[in-house]
Structure 1
Amino acid sequence: MTRINTISIVVPVYNEQDNLPVLFAEIERAMARTDKEWHVIFVDDGSTDNSLPVMRTLAEKHPSARYVAFAANCGQSAAFKAGFDAATGDVIVTMDADLQNDPADIPDMLAQYERGFDMVIGWRAKRQDSLVKKLVSRFGNAVRNRLSNETVKDTGCSLKVMRTTMAQRLPMFTGMHRFLPTLMKMQGATVAEIKVNHRPRRHGVSKYGVWDRAKATFFDLLAIRWMQKRSFRYSIKEQK
């Protein structure tokens, strides 16, 4: 059993001004069901709307709301990395800012983590996306699993729980946020999957093109394969 005391919830943000107050309120309600200390770290990825002023207001009103703001757009992997670096909790919870991830799933994921895993990842069994997006995602997931020798049902779900010390050691490059379970396993992490809720987007639009993302992911897969083949772990028997 692994006891969690403090939690850092990392949320990359790009032009999600209308979703942030709702998301924070939902996180508050979800975390009230636990006995954990927690805080949210919003990472503004160079938003061009009022996302940053909304984050400032949340941080002024709520001690559990924090933020990091990029000077320019750097991408989701960079936003996750900045959030990981700023995290002080025993575990990191990651999720999207678009309200499609449901904070109500977090307590169950934390309970699963405390059973002795290093990472728990969400599986969107009933995705609320367009048919094209679902088909492309399903195909991409199958290709990723095939080339990286994985069995993950839903690598694209941002709702994850992971051990902070391991997350902060991850090699993060552009696109690497799509392979967090694989990167964690390369450190020896044990990973569990759990079904989570998935909701339609309420405000704003998706920031990622389906086909552009599929093309980029293929080249990222080649990097992952290289890292898998060249990575190593060691344990020290004796030292003086």
Structure 2
Amino acid sequence: MSNAEKFSVVLPVYNEQDNLQTLFAEIRAAADSTGRPWEAVFVDDCSTDRSLAIIRELAEAHPEVRYVAFAENRGQSAAFCAGFDAVDSDIVVTMDADLQNDPSDIPDMLAAFGRDCEMVIGWRAKRRDTFIKRISSRIANKIRDSIVDDGVHDTGCSLKVMRTDLLRRIPRFKNMHRYFPILMKMEGARIHEVKVNHRQRGAGVSKYGTLDRALAGIWDLIGVKWLITRHIGYTVKEKK
């Protein structure tokens, strides 16, 4: 991959007013260090705090910032999809807006991208979540892997680098962001993992509970398993 190839950082946002200024400063430092052109695309999921106002201020002050603002709350998967549709590059970097993902990991992940892979996934080897969240994630991961084995250690890490064209082709549904690896594999992507830093949330509150995620996850697994078994893939040998 050329060092001059542009990349887009896509960031779903819901009530993260206290994190956005710091987050963008860290993204800018990491992105500028790569020497590549870049942009940050914030997708506000109808926040009820000052998140959108802060995003507007960032866009006014920094030409690299663009944004999409939802008219109603549609969830993280919808926000990611809106970001994928809005980007102006062939490479997408995804991450959360809560500062638990570390933007300083972006250069190493970009360096790994394109070396025999179309997707690079962050692996949070040392999680900084609460004990309950870590345990529930481990249980959920074991159940998921027994039904939908995507072959990665940490499919839940939002810090990923992916090819835009493949992202725009994968099926879209609620909570699809939890299944990016297997969905990208269905489109032919090869995956590489990079260990990344994971930080404790400094401000704001988690938007997800454990019980609601577990219940929704059951339906998601059934649906994704169906998609895998019914997926159509082909290679064109010749055409005129």
TM-score (norm 1): 0.97
Deviations 1:140-178 (A, max 9, x none): 111111101222111111000001110111111101110
Q: Within 5 Å, which residues of 2 pair with 1:32-111?
A: 32-111=32-111
Q: What's the offset of the Cα at 1:114?
A: 3.1
Give the corresponding residue for 2:174. Answer: 174
Q: How far is 1:189 from its partner?
A: 0.5
1:113-192 to structure 2, matched below 5 A, reads: 113-192=113-192
Q: CA deviation at 1:190?
A: 0.2
Residue identity matched to 2:195: K
Aligned counterpart, 1:8: 8
When the two structures are superposed, what TM-score results if normalisation uses the length of structure 2?
Answer: 0.97
What code does the residue aligned with 1:206 have? S
SS in 2 for 1:161: strand
Distance 1:193 1:145 in 2: 17
1:3 aligned partner, one-letter code: S
Q: State the 4+ residue runs in structure 1 displaced beyond 3 angstroms.
A: none
Maintained 8 Å contact 2:136/2:210: yes
> What is the rounded CA distance, in whole Å, between the counterparts of 1:114 and 1:237 in structure 2?
24
The 1-side partners of 2:116 and 2:224 are apart by: 26
Quote the offset at 1:32 in angstroms: 2.0
Displacement, 1:112?
0.6
- Matches of 2:136 and 2:12 in 1, distance apart? 23
CA distance in 2, matches of 1:181, 1:120: 9
RMSD: 1.0
Matched residue count: 239
SS of the equivalent of 1:183 reads helix
Structure 1 residue runs without a partner (length 5+): none
Q: Aligned partners of 1:26 and 1:52: how far apart in 2? A: 19
Cα offset, 1:116, TM superposition: 2.6
Secondary structure at the residue paired with 1:47?
A: coil
For residues 54 and 27 of structure 1, the distance between their equivalents in structure 2, rounded to whole angstroms, comes to: 16
Structure 1 segment 218-229 matched on structure 2, within 5 A: 218-229=218-229
How far off is 1:129 after superposition? 0.9
Amino acid of the structure 2 residue aligned with 1:65 = V
- Matches of 2:140 and 2:218 in 1, distance apart? 9
CA distance in 2: counterparts of 1:90 and 1:175, whole angstroms: 23
Query: 1:3·1:114 contact (CA, 8 Å) conserved in 2?
Result: no
Q: Distance in 2 between matches of 1:20 and 1:205?
A: 14
2:215, 2:237 → 1: CA distance? 44
Residue 203 in structure 1 maps to residue 203 in structure 2: yes
Structure 2 unaligned spans of 5+: none
Q: Which residue type is aligned with residue 191 of structure 1?
A: I
In structure 2, how many angstroms separate the alpha carbons of the residues matched to 1:145 and 1:111? 28
Structure 1 residue 72: deviation in Å?
Answer: 0.5
